Structure 1
Amino acid sequence: MDTEAGVFHVFGPAGLALVDRALDELDRLWERTPDVPSQDRILFALALSEVTTNIAQHNDTADVVLSVDVRVTTDTLRACIRDTAPPAPVDWDAVSMPDEAAESGRGLALSQAALDEFTHTVGALGNTWVLVRRVDGQRDTDG
């Protein structure tokens, strides 16, 4: 795979418009990397959408900036998402699917289920979210 074919970067105010840009870029990336199995594409896109949407919805101030870097290799789908928001308080031990009647609160739980690695760190400049899904063609046939 051409290294440049499997990479994109978007950057800007942390709003839903940037989320849409990131997902549009991901669609274009899939066109350039046709060997990625469909199940891996779908679940990685779901996680990327959930995390970036959460950041946008919980940080609606114009001064919060969101940066999304995605890299696809033959083995791995990886996103590094950085925001300049205050530290996001995430209790990873308490992340779980809410009951069926809940209207929100599924994003982190869905992302955890879709990814092989999902980390969040806080630094002096904001939050960093790393999403990793290993590419495995057997997952499509295993169901």
Structure 2
Amino acid sequence: MKLRSLLAALCGPFTPDAGLLFARVTGALLVLHVHGLPKLLHFSDELAHIDDPLHMGRALTLYCAIFAEVLCPILVALGLLTRLASLPFLFLLLVSMLLVHPDWSIADGQFGWLLIIVFGTIAISGAGRYSVDARLRTAVHG
């Protein structure tokens, strides 16, 4: 029995859509838990410590970070406006990696770079079949 057949028998069919679902949901929940919710729940503390690399003001920078790390991951997890919702988070990550932490080695910033890979893949590939986006497309196009 080939490996793929064995895995399909044990776990069900593997599809790129299932992989996109897994990447979307797990990546989004990780960002939400590690970055988004702490910023939202501890706004005052975060406001005192947040970097402002684009010189927009700390409050606006924090609001933008909360948008990118709370609302956008929720949309990505649902698969709603997925490609568009990936972009603010990717922008935030690139600003963080290139402007806030330019002294970090690849090893120091590996978590950020991996998130760029995950959300970049989602932005390029879209949400896949198991998403609100796909359901909306089906409803519109019949």
Higher Rg of the two aligned structures: 2
Higher strand share: 1
Taking structure 2 as the reference length, what is the TM-score of the superposition?
0.29
Taking structure 1 as the reference length, what is the TM-score of the superposition?
0.29
Higher helix share: 2
